[in-house]
Amino acid sequence: MFSGPLAVLGAASLTLVTLQAPVAAPASAQDAPPGPAQRVHEPPRKATVTGRGGAVTSVDPYASRIGLQVLRRGGNAVDAAVATAAALGVTEPYSSGLGGGGYFVYYDAKTKRVKTLDGRETAPAAMKHDAFVDPATGQPYPFTPDLVTSGVSVGVPGTPATWQAALDRWGSMPLADVLAPAAALARRGFKVDKTFHQQTDDNAERFNAFTSTRKLFLRHGKAPKVGSVFRNRQLARTYDLLAARGMGAFYRGALARELARTVRKPPVRRHTDLPVPRGRMRVKDLAKYAVVQHRPTHVGYRGLDVYGMPPSSSGGTTVGEALNILERYDLKTMTPAQVQHLVIEAAHLAFADRAKYVGDQSGVPVGTLLSDTFAAERACRIDPLHAFTPPVAAGDVTASDGSCATPSSRSGSGPDTEGVNTTNLTVADAEGNVVEYTLTIEQTGGSGIVVPGRGFLLNNELTDFSAVYDPADPNRIEPGKRPRSSISPTIVLRDKKPVLALGSPGGSTIITTVLGIIVNRLDLGMTLPQAIAAPRVAPSNKATLSAEQAFLDQYAAALALLGHTLAPAGAPGTSAAEIGAATAIEFGPRGLLTAAAEPTRRGGGAAAVVRRR
């Protein structure tokens, strides 16, 4: 309960993290907004930088600059990660923010251990198994726009609790100081770029459906112009409130009541034709929310230790299983097309097992899924000269002995409804601590609903549940449950020291983006910037492979000869045609850091180091 402490549920015990006592908001958070003559400049974007003393990389230059400033002022990696995430809530409000959730993976340099926080959203206690079924028709609501743009799709947010839990456990600065730069940014404003304008315009119908969202994001019903300054004083005031009272103010009191009321009765304008199904969230759902701390997933790969996020995310198990399968092959001796063939097949197999076995429930066979024995069994399905036809069946975890056994009869495939516009950040400090953090509100713009006067959008994460209830489905809708995610924050160690930290947004394509970067860097000898920039494909146990156009240009002909069917991802020339938007840090000799982000995807990311090389 949030009546004092913030609960963090551990794997074996319940740990209580004390909330910040009320303090006055810092002076910087109270700065008046700039006058009309004051200009707002976007910081420079550099996709790759090298140096020492700490590093930050994200999709956004304002956010990366704030994280870097925290490091330079003596904050550690956790302080900088939360400050960067809070800034992304200002500049990337359609991908992240207080109304969402995420997964936080932390390497502690003192203990040389990797730890995790599951800040995924939860279903309200009154959530019904048929919540996604239209009572008027008896059929599931159309995913877009009906189910996405709704109160019923909103899960209890976990992001504020994640920030508080991370700071209380591993941070060195108080919450008020960490939130102050983002509050100041929200007041001062940022320069609207093409991505922000386009995302707003793409969501104009949904945003116009709500009085609060239209007021905040649409000026006279239209998206803000490229080059204009966007300010969010509502969000600044919300950050001030949380800075003064701690994150308990989000989960109880006036803000919690407003949030729950907004979910149950969205502020719909009379002029919209969207149905906007109502949700069932209550204040008690917010008060009961707890961050969960799990042991990370772990596999060995080429002599390295790869740590990831366990369920409720499927990222760690699916990336790990695919790596275990690929470790059976000497990829360095193969042609590029042969490597891609094996990566695709390994991903199909791992996705099949993900669909059958992984969800937010007890008894997920993580140990078996990540065992070399099971990987050997699954690799038997792969023919180096010919592709199998997806969907391939899941393996049988109850009879795994390493032999080429008959797979389970149940197909491991289903519709993919995960949103692609999540966001990711990577941070390292001078002491060697590392954070890999992926946070989201699901679709671009989440549910489309802004909590009136509070400046942030609510998520639509519950659409990640399977729409039709099946008692045998590990991702079935249940009250209090967390929907399965593909988020894959990953930290790679050698001899208990960091080698690489990476993650990406992109819905189910997160898994294959992270997998591909690891293979590119560790097996194929690419530099980290090359590994990130390389063209991508997104196998997920479906008959047709979605791929970027550059991937099709390079590999389509050769892969077609092996029996693969490929198609371009999204519409040409749009952000949907891109897969992922990764960030990563590589750890070199004598403290040298290579911080990298996308050179072009989503407009290019922003990397920064404390001391340039």
pLDDT digits (tens, 9 = 90+) for 544-584: 999 999 999 999 999 999 999 999 997 665 667 899 999 99
Q: How confident is the model at residue 540 (pLDDT cuts 50, 70, 90)?
A: very high
Give residues with Cβ within 8 angstroms of 386, minimum separation 6. 562, 563
pLDDT at 34: 40
Compute the distance between CA of residue 459 and CA of residue 488 in angstroms, rounded to an integer.
19
Residue 369 contacts residue 357 (beta carbons within 8 Å): yes
Lateral strand order in the sheet of 537-538: 537-538, 544-547, 565-568
pLDDT digits (tens, 9 = 90+) for 233-259: 999 999 999 999 999 999 999 999 999
pLDDT at 571: 64
Query: Of residues 90 and 135, which shows the higher confidence score?
Result: 90
Least confident of 99-103, 127-131, 315-319, 400-404: 400-404
How does DSSP assign 175-227, residue by residue? HHHHHHHHHHHHHH-EE--HHHHHHHHHTHHHHTTBHHHHHHH-BTTBPPPTT
Q: Which of 422, 463, 509, 583 is catalytic?
A: 422
Provide the residue count of the chain. Answer: 613
Cis, bond preceding 390 (omega within 30 deg of 0): no
| End-to-end Cα separation, the chain, in angstroms | 48
Compute the distance between CA of residue 551 and CA of residue 407 in angstroms, rounded to an integer.
31
Compute the distance between CA of residue 355 and CA of residue 505 in angstroms, rounded to an integer.
20
pLDDT at 38: 54
- Bridge-based pairing of strands 297-301 and 304-308 is antiparallel
Task: Please tell me whether the overall predicted TM-score, pTM, comes out greater than 0.85 for this model.
Answer: yes
Residue 486 contacts residue 314 (beta carbons within 8 Å): yes
Handedness of CA 441, 481, 408, 398 (dihedral sign): positive
pLDDT at 33: 40
Compute the distance between CA of residue 55 and CA of residue 10 in angstroms, rounded to an integer.
29
Residue 366 contacts residue 294 (beta carbons within 8 Å): no
Fill in the amino acid letter for 100: G
Compute the distance between CA of residue 251 and CA of residue 249 in angstroms, rounded to an integer.
6
pLDDT digits (tens, 9 = 90+) for 491-518: 999 999 999 999 999 999 999 999 999 9
Compute the distance between CA of residue 483 and CA of residue 457 in angstroms, rounded to an integer.
19
pLDDT at 32: 37
Please give the structure tokens belonging to residue 400. 């795994």
- Tabulate helix, strand, coil % of the chain (nearest 5): 35, 20, 45
Q: How confident is the model at residue 415 (pLDDT cuts 50, 70, 90)?
A: low
Q: 162 an active-site residue?
A: no
Please give the structure tokens belonging to residue 202. 């793409």
pLDDT digits (tens, 9 = 90+) for 160-194: 999 999 999 999 999 999 999 999 999 999 999 99
DSSP three-state, residue 16: strand
Q: What are phi and psi of 472, to 5 degrees?
A: -90, -5
Residue 601 predicted with pLDDT over 90: yes
Handedness of CA 178, 282, 255, 214 (dihedral sign): positive
Residue 28 predicted with pLDDT over 50: no
